[in-house]
Amino acid sequence: MSTTGEQLVKLTIDGVPVEVPKGTLLVEAAKTVKQEIPVYCYHTKLGPAGLCRVCLVEIVGQPKLQIACNTVVAEGMVVNTRNEKVDAGRGMILELLLVNHPLDCPICDKGGECDLQDYAMAYGRGSSDVADPKQSKPKGVDLGPTIVLDEERCVVCQRCVRFDDIIADERQLIVKDRGHHDIIATATDAPYRHHFTGNVTEICPVGALTSKTYRFKSRPWDLNRTQTTCTQCAVGCQQFSDVRLGTVLRTMSVEHDDRYSDSWLCDRGRYNIGFYTSPERITQPLYRKGGTFVQIGWDDAFLIWARELRAAGANAGAIGGGRLLNEEAYLLQHVFRAIGVRNLDWRGGRQRQASPGKSGGDYASLERANAIVVAGSSSPAELAPVMWLRAIKAKRNGAQIYHVTENDAAKTIASIAPDARIAIVWDGVDLVLGKSVADAASGRSVVAYIASEQPNARGAEAMGMLPIDGGMDGAMMFDAARGGKLAALSLFGVNPVRNAADPDTVRAALSATNFVMVSELFMTETAQLAQLVLPAKGAFEKSGTTVNITGDLLAVNASLESPTGPLSDLEMLIGLAQQFDLTLPTIEELDAAVIARSQSAFTGTFGDALYHSGASRHAQDGRSLEPRTLWDGGGTAAHDERVVALLRETVEA
Amino acid sequence: MPVTKILTAGIGEANLRDINVYRERGGYKQWERAVRELTPNDVFEACDKSGLRGRGGAGFPTGRKWSFLPKDVFPRYLVCNCDEAEPGTFKDHMLLEETPHLVLEGILLGAYGINCHHAFIYIRGEFKRGYEIFMKALDEARAAGLVGKNLFDKGYDLEVTVHRGAGAYICGEETGLLNSLEGKRGEPRLKPPFPAIAGLYGAPTVVNNVETLAYLVPILERGADWFAAAGTERSKGYKIVSISGHVQKPGNYEVPVGTTIRELIEIAGGLRPGRTFMAVQPGGGSSACIFEEHLDYPYDYESMAKAGSMMGSGAFTVFDDTTDFVKAAFNLIRFYTHESCGQCTPCREGGSWLERVLHRFVEGRGLRSDLEMIRRVGHAITGLNLCALGDSIEPFLLSVFNRFPDQFEARLLKETVQA
C-alpha cells in the first residue's frame, strides 16, 4: 500500500493495526484489511460525494456514525466497519433506498451484479414497513443513442453526473427537479452524446442506466468473460469481452487498469462490436472472373495468390500491419521478404511515423503535463479517446491545452515556459515537421503521444512493415501502380480508397494493377476493386499482441469463435508460405522475435528516419527493459490453439 | 416587560430607508470610525469579546467563526445570508425592508472585521420588496462614498454585490447558498472543506446572518461589554424573536437573551382568552416542541438544548388547545420534503416516506404499524444526513408524537383500531 517517502498514518480498523499514507480516505484504507465498505456515490476515480450515506462506519469516540468516503485517516483512529450499530445504520439507508425502488430485479439487466441487490442482501431487513404505493417516475427514457434510463431504479448517487463533469468534461448530465422528484437528464434535453457515454452504464450502481446494445440480452452469470486489449484504436485499453452463445454481448472496462484505460472505455471501443455477427461479413474467398466475384475455396485462393506473386516477382508490394496483430505483421514482412518483395509498408494513406522514438511517454506523464500541444487538425478525442481523458485530467489540474496547426507546433513549444512539462499529441509525424519539433524540444521536458489512424501502427513499424531495405513506401507503390509499374499488390486490413487523401488516384492505381489481393472482413471500397478477396477474422477472434501508443506490448486474447470460413491474416500468410515451401519460424521463435522487436523500438527523435532501429530503447533513455507485456500469461499467439496447430503443421511439413 | 429597541430602534417611527434619516440618528458613524480609526483586528476583537453568536440558527460564536479563516489568504469573502426561510422566522426581512442601511452597515463592518474587499448579500427570491429597498440603500451609500474604492481616503476598498436567490429553503444552508451564489444548483456541499477554508469560488469565506452582522453596529457603538452584559452566561446580548401562532399580538420582539418562555408569550399579548397552552416551537420549523414544564426556562441556546429543542433562528410559534398536531406535523414535513434538495438518501427518501404516511393520518387512514414506523424511521434518519435539513424533519414530529399520542391514535383507520 505504501511507497517509501510517503508519510504514514497508523490506525486500527476492525481490530487490525494498519499503516496507510497520510490523506487516505477510510473507504480506501479499509481495503487493506480486506473489508469492503458499501458505497453508491463514492467511486475511486470520482472521489467522495457524501450523498448516499451507506458507507457508515463507527469511529470510536465519535457519537454519530461517520461516512467512510469523506473521512480522512487520522493517527490513532479506531474504526469499526462491522458491528451492530454500523449494520443498523447501513440497514436504515438500504431500507430508505428501497422505499421507492421498484422490485423488478427479475427483469433488470443489473440483476446479479447490482450493488443495491448485494447490499440489501448484506444489510437489508428482508421485510418492509412501506404501506403506500411506490413513487412513479419515467421509465424507458431514451437518453441518447447509447443509453436507456429507468428513473425509478435510480438511487440519485450522481456518479453519472459527476463522471460527465469530472472525467469527460462534458457536463451534459444533470439532476433535474428536487428532493424525491429528482431525475437524471441532460441539461438541454438534447440526446446524451459524446465519446464516453457508455461509462455511465458501468458506474451506475443499479439498473437505471442501461446500454441499448445489452438491454434485456443476458444475465451476467451467463456470460463468458475474456480479458483482452481493445484494438479499435492505439490506446491499449484493457477490456473484458463478455460472450454468450457466440456473440459478444458487451465489453466492460477492467477496474484496475490504471496504466492504460484508467478504467474507462470510449463508446467506439465499447459499442462497436456488433459487426462480428453481421450477415454482410465475407465468409468465403472471392475471385473476380470477368466482371463479377465468384466464391472459391481456400486451396484455390492460395494457388491463385501464389501464382500471381510468382509472376510478379520483386515487382510486387504489400501494404498492411496497422490493423494486424504483431505476430501477423511480423509474418507478413517475413514471408514477403522471403519471396523477394521489398515494397512493404503499413501506411495506405499519409506517410507518417507512428513511433515517437525516445520522446514517447506513458499516460501518467500526459496526466502530469503542464502544457499539452495538440498539433494538426485531427481530434485526439476521436483518434485516441481514452488517452484524451488524461489530457482532461491534466486540464483540471491547471494544464494549458494548445490546439495548433502542425506548422506552428515547434513555435508553440518554444513559447511555453522553459520549466513546463510539455506533452505533444499528434496523429503522426513527418520528417520535416518532426525535425522542427525535435529542435524546439531539445533540452526541454517534452513527451510525445502519436495517436495514429491505425491501432497497431507502432507495432507494424516495430515488426518491420516498412520499406527498410530499399523498397517503395505506400505512396510510392500507388504512384508506381498508377503507371502500370506494379504487377501485384497485397492489401491487409487497409482501405485506401476510403481513407487516402485522394481516393481517385488510389482507385486509378488499383485499377491499373494486374493483381490486387485484399484481406478484409467486409466488402470495402478497396475490396471491390480487388481480384482476390480473402475473408479475415476480427480482433475478438484471434490471439496475439499489439503495441499501443506508449510502446507497450499488450495481449489480445480471442474471446469469440469466428464464423466458418474466415482465416486470420496469420493463417493466410502461413497458407501462402506453404505455396512457396518456405521455412517458417516456430511459435517460440515468432514469440521471441515479436518481443525483441517491440522492445527495440525506434530510438531516434522525431523526424529521424525510422528505418535504422538502433540499440534497444533502454540503452538510450535509461528505462528498464523488462518485457513490457501486461497481464502475465498472455501476450503471444500461443494462446490461440488453432493457430498453434496450424503453425506446427506448417513447420513440420 | 423586557422589550428592548436596539436593531429595531426607530422602526415604525422614522423612515430609516432614507440615508439622511439613518445618518441623523447616528448611522454609518461606526463604519466611518472603523475605517478611520480601527484596525480590522479591533473589529474582530469587539465581535469576539461581545460573545455574539450566529443568529441564523446554529448559534455558533461569530468571533470564532471568523478566526477559522486562514491567515494571509486572499481574496476572502464575507457573505451575508438573507435567505431567511425557516418556517416561522420573519426578522431578517423586516430589517432588510425597514432599516436597510443598518443591514448594510453591519455587512460593511463584518467585511472590515475579516479584512476582505468584497462582500455579498444573498437575498431570498421572494423578498422582492426588500431587495428593491436594499438596492436603493446601497446606491445611496455608494453615492455617499461609504462603499467603493479608497474609503474615507484610507486606502481601503470594499465592494458589495447583491444576489437574489430563486426561493429555496436549502439555499439558506451556507454551502447551498454558496453554490447558488456561484450560479450552481443550490445544494449543500460535502464538508470538509468548510467555507472558512474553501468557500465562495474556492476562497476562504465567512457566511453570517443579517441579524448577526447588524448587531456589530451597536456592539461597536456601545462596546463589547455592553452587549455581553445582557443575556445569560453563555448566550450573550439581545435577540429578535419572531413570535407567531396562538398569541394575541404576533410579531418581532427584540429582547435580552434569557427572557423566559412565559415572558415571551406575555410580550406577544398572551394566549387568546379561554385557551390553554399546549406547546411552543421555540426555534423555527426545525426545532422540537417544548411544553408546559418548560415555561420558565430562559430563552437561550443552552436552556433550549436542555429542554430538548433549540433557540434556532428565534422563530417562536405558540400552540394552544385548538391545535391539530397531526396536521401541523404533516404541514411541516410536507415543507421539508418539498425543500429537500434530494442529494442524500435519508432526507430525500425518509422525508417523502413520512409525508405519505402522515398524509394518511390527516385523512384518518393511519395504520397501527405506521406508529412504530414513525418512531423508528423518524429517529433513525436524524444524524445520517449531509446537511442539517434532513435532521430537521423529525424533531417537531417526534416531540408532538410522543407528547400527544392520542391525537395520532385517533387518526387510525377504524378497522385497525378494533383489530
Report residue A348's pLDDT band, with 50, 70 and 90 as the boundaries. confident
Task: Establish if B338 touches chain A: CB-CB under 8 angstroms.
Answer: yes
- Report the pLDDT value the prediction gives residue A4, as an integer from 0 to 100: 55
- Taking only the tens place, the pLDDT of each residue in A129-143 is 899 999 999 999 999
Question: What does CATH list as the number for A8-82?
Answer: 3.10.20.740
For residues A147-158, give the mean pLDDT. 97
Phi, psi at residue A228, to the nearest 5°?
-150, 180
**Residue A445: pLDDT above 90?**
no
Report residue A601's pLDDT band, with 50, 70 and 90 as the boundaries. low
Question: What does CATH list as the number for A357-450?
Answer: 3.40.50
Whether residues B215 and B253 share a domain: the answer is no
**Residue A626: pLDDT above 50?**
no
Residue A195 amino acid letter: H
For residues B83-110, give the mean pLDDT. 97
Q: Which residues of B394-418 are buried (b: 16+ CB within 10 A; e: fewer)?
A: bbbbbbbbebbeebbeebbbeeeee
- Taking only the tens place, the pLDDT of each residue in B170-219 is 999 999 999 999 999 999 999 999 999 999 999 999 999 999 999 999 99
Is the Cβ pair A182, B356 closer than 8 Å? no
**Residue A357: pLDDT above 80?**
no
Q: In Å, what is the CA distance from A287 to each residue of A167, A345, A422, A498, A518?
A: 49, 24, 52, 21, 11
Q: Could you tell me which residues are beta bridge partners of residue A141?
A: A149
- Report the pLDDT value the prediction gives residue A435, as an integer from 0 to 100: 78
Domain with CATH 3.40.50.740 in chain A: 286-349+457-652
> Which range is least confidently modeled, A370-374, A437-441, A526-530, B108-112?
A437-441
Task: List the one residue out of B355, B358, B346 whose CA is nearest residue B388.
Answer: B346
Q: In Å, what is the CA distance from B310 to each residue of B58, B76, B298?
A: 9, 31, 12
B296 in any annotated domain: yes
Whether residues B197 and B278 share a domain: the answer is no
Whether residues B118 and B52 share a domain: the answer is yes
- Report the pLDDT value the prediction gives residue A441, as an integer from 0 to 100: 83
**Residue B307: pLDDT above 90?**
yes
Whether residues B110 and B138 share a domain: the answer is yes
B292 in any annotated domain: yes
Residue B172 amino acid letter: G
Q: Which of B277, B296, B320 is the last residue of a domain?
A: B320
Give the total number of structural domains in chain B: 3
Whether residues B121 and B195 share a domain: the answer is yes
- Report the pLDDT value the prediction gives residue B313, as an integer from 0 to 100: 95
CA distance B235 to A489: 93
Q: Could you tell me which residues are beta bridge partners of residue A227?
A: A240
For residues B297-307, give the mean pLDDT. 97
Task: Establish if B380 touches chain A: CB-CB under 8 angstroms.
Answer: yes
Q: Report the SS3 class of residue B134.
A: helix
- Report the pLDDT value the prediction gives residue A321, as an integer from 0 to 100: 87
Q: Report the SS3 class of residue A113.
A: coil
Q: Report the SS3 class of residue A638.
A: helix
- Report the pLDDT value the prediction gives residue B1, as an integer from 0 to 100: 57
Which among B185, B345, B370 has the least Cβ separation from residue A93?
B345
B232 in any annotated domain: no
Instruction: Give me the CATH number covering residue B314.
Output: 3.10.20.600
**Residue A633: pLDDT above 60?**
no
Dihedral angle at the C-alpha atoms of A275, A277, A278, A281, nearest 10 degrees? 90
Whether residues B201 and B114 share a domain: the answer is yes
- Report the pLDDT value the prediction gives residue A5, as an integer from 0 to 100: 63
C-alpha cell at A41: 456515490
Domain with CATH 3.10.20.740 in chain A: 8-82
Q: Which of B266, B285, B320 is the last residue of a domain?
A: B320
- Taking only the tens place, the pLDDT of each residue in A336-346 is 999 999 999 99
Q: What is the mean pLDDT of chain A?
A: 88
C-alpha cell at B199: 468557500
B108 in any annotated domain: yes
What lies within 8 Å, CB to CB, of B276 at 6+ separation is: B320, B321
> Which residue does chain A place closest to B380, by CA atoms?
A92
Whether residues B215 and B342 share a domain: the answer is no
B8 in any annotated domain: no
- Report the pLDDT value the prediction gives residue A212, as an integer from 0 to 100: 97
Whether residues B45 and B146 share a domain: the answer is yes
Task: List the one residue out of A139, A141, A228 whose CA is nearest residue A191.
Answer: A141
**Contact, A567 vs A534, CB < 8 A?**
yes
Is the Cβ pair B343, A158 closer than 8 Å? yes
**Residue A650: pLDDT above 60?**
no
Whether residues B95 and B192 share a domain: the answer is yes
Q: Which of B320, B353, B384 is the last residue of a domain?
A: B320
Architecture of the domain whose range is A286-349+457-652? 3-Layer(aba) Sandwich (3.40)
B14 in any annotated domain: no
**Residue A646: pLDDT above 60?**
no
Instruction: Please state which of the four CATH numbers 3.30.70.20, 3.30.1130.10, 3.40.50.620, 3.40.50.300 is assigned to the domain occupying A106-277.
Output: 3.30.70.20
Residue B218 amino acid letter: P
C-alpha cell at A527: 475490396
> Which range is least confidently modeled, A255-269, A472-486, A589-603?
A589-603
Dihedral angle at the C-alpha atoms of B294, B295, B297, B300, nearest 10 degrees? 100
**Contact, B80 vs B6, CB < 8 A?**
no
Whether residues B276 and B335 share a domain: the answer is no
Report residue B299's pLDDT band, with 50, 70 and 90 as the boundaries. very high
> Which range is least confidently modeled, A178-187, A402-411, B118-127?
A402-411
C-alpha cell at B209: 446572518
Say how many CA atoms lie within 13 Å of B40 toward its Cβ. 16
- Report the pLDDT value the prediction gives residue A83, as an integer from 0 to 100: 94
> In the block, which residue shows the cell 494462446?
A639
**ipTM, two decimals:** 0.92
Q: Which residues of B338-371 are buried (b: 16+ CB within 10 A; e: fewer)?
A: bbbbbbbbbbbbbbbbbbbbbebbbeebbbeebb
CA distance B333 to B347: 11
- Look up the domain containing B190 and give its range: 19-225
Share of chain A above pLDDT 70, in %: 91
CA distance B349 to A116: 15
Residue A627 amino acid letter: P
Instruction: Give me the CATH number covering residue B353.
Output: 1.20.1440.230
- Taking only the tens place, the pLDDT of each residue in B17-72 is 999 999 999 999 999 999 999 999 999 999 999 999 999 999 999 999 999 999 99
Which among B192, B342, B384 has the least Cβ separation from residue A180?
B342
Whether residues B149 and B244 share a domain: the answer is no
**Residue B107: pLDDT above 90?**
yes
Residues of A with CB under 8 A from a CB of B: 48-54, 56, 64-65, 70, 88-89, 92-93, 95-97, 99-100, 129-132, 135, 155-156, 158, 174-175, 177-182
Instruction: Give me the CATH number covering residue B121.
Output: 3.40.50.11540
- Report the pLDDT value the prediction gives residue A610, as an integer from 0 to 100: 42
- Report the pLDDT value the prediction gives residue B415, as an integer from 0 to 100: 65
- Taking only the tens place, the pLDDT of each residue in B355-373 is 999 999 999 999 999 999 9
